[in-house]
Amino acid sequence: MIKTLIVLFAVISTSFAVDCVADVAGLLASSEIAPLVGIVFVFNIVIIALSYLLGESLHMPQLVIFAKEEIYHLVFSAVLLVAFGGALSLSCSISNSFLNYTYSTISVSSICYTGSSNAIGIANCYTNRMVGNAESILKTYSEKSINYQMDSTTIISITLPLLGGSSTGLWAYKKAYSMQYDMVSDTFLVPALISLKMQKVILQFIDQIALQLLLPIAFFFRIFIPTRTMGNFMLGLVIGIYVIFPMLYALHGAMFDVVLGNCGDYSSVVNDHVFKECGATGSFWDMAKLIPQAFFLPNLAVAIFITFVSGIAKALRGMG
């Protein structure tokens, strides 16, 4: 039964999308996840059989009713398993088509977009770029801070015999420059770098192991009445993780190139005597354009993601 479902799943999935977030059909049919899903279904069948036999032998109608209800949910879970691949692949195909249309419309010129890239690939590429930029900027700021700190200690001393002498700092004002670099790094750049690295880890988790981990648990929770709602929620979570989250991050990446690509539009705000003008190595703009990607846009993605998952969970709860 499980093998048949997996084959049907593969046919439906590949008929909707060939190049999507991942080869979902092949992943579910792999040795990493198919046995786990099979164990869950077998366990469900054993519970149904035991409940029915005990109910008939002990004349306990509540167990018989429970067994019959579980048969319905087992069949519904089997249908979900077959339809899940098609729904996931179709959703991915729609999101990728939307991304391709959006990127081509706004004429994005980026190494992360090739015209046929999928959402998770674009999101990973942009996140890696931003992490690399943040690390490079932090290195530049640290070097400039140290150089200014060293320059500020330069002292000129003039001494006359019998009359004494006088000393003065030649570039003492550079101490303030050093403190400005340290303040921007500690207040904005380091937290942004940590946030971007955490987002990078989350995207890698989604790309590599989220489906293998969450899908069997979701079907397992659907076995029991008290946890069935949680199982529906986790199925919605899987769809949201593989479709909505990468698509939003890919769109955020487009903003990195389009909205935040031209520093000249903001030169009156970001040009600074210490950080220099737009285009200068380590300018304030290089750091500032990471802030929305590190803090604001992830919160927006989480809000949309939670709304989507809640809607899918309610729909599944209404169907069974």
Q: What angle do CA 208, 4, 42 make, to 5 degrees?
A: 80
H/E run at residue 60: none
Phi, psi angle pair for 94, to nearest 5°: -65, -45
For 176, the domain range is: 2-319
Cα distance between residue 123 and residue 112, in whole Å: 8
- 28-84 pLDDT, tens digit per residue, is 555 556 677 777 777 778 887 888 788 878 878 887 887 777 787 777 777 777 766
- State the pTM of this model: 0.72
- Among positive and negative, which fits the CA dihedral 207, 210, 213, 219? negative
The domain total for the chain is: 1
What's the chain's length in residues? 320
Q: Which two tokens stand for residue 90?
A: 């179709």
Q: What angle do CA 92, 229, 226 make, to 5 degrees?
A: 150
Cα distance between residue 40 and residue 28, in whole Å: 14
- Among positive and negative, which fits the CA dihedral 125, 200, 265, 285? negative
Q: Which two tokens stand for residue 209?
A: 């192991």
Radius of gyration of the chain (CA): 29
Cα distance between residue 245 and residue 191, in whole Å: 22
- Among positive and negative, which fits the CA dihedral 153, 156, 160, 164? negative
Cα distance between residue 306 and residue 309, in whole Å: 5
Cα distance between residue 7 and residue 82, in whole Å: 9
In a structure prediction context, what are the per-residue pLDDT tens digits for the chain, which is 320 residues long?
A: 444 434 333 333 333 344 454 455 555 555 556 677 777 777 778 887 888 788 878 878 887 887 777 787 777 777 777 766 666 666 666 666 766 776 677 665 667 766 656 777 788 888 998 999 899 999 999 999 999 888 888 877 777 776 677 777 678 888 888 899 999 999 999 999 999 999 999 888 887 777 777 877 887 787 777 777 888 888 888 878 877 888 888 778 777 777 666 777 777 777 778 888 777 777 888 888 888 888 888 888 888 888 888 888 787 776 66
DSSP 8-state secondary structure symbol assigned to residue 115: S
Question: Which pLDDT value is given to residue 246?
Answer: 81
- Whether residue 206 contacts residue 242, with contact meaning beta carbons closer than 8 Å, is answered with yes
Q: What angle do CA 180, 195, 231 make, to 5 degrees?
A: 165
Distant-in-sequence, close-in-space partners of 296: CB < 8 Å, separation ≥ 6:
none
DSSP 8-state secondary structure symbol assigned to residue 293: I
Which residue type occupies 224?
A: F
- Whether residue 263 contacts residue 283, with contact meaning beta carbons closer than 8 Å, is answered with yes
Cα distance between residue 188 and residue 90, in whole Å: 40
- 224-257 pLDDT, tens digit per residue, is 777 778 888 888 888 788 778 888 887 787 777 7
- Among positive and negative, which fits the CA dihedral 55, 72, 48, 310? negative
End-to-end Cα spacing for the chain? 21
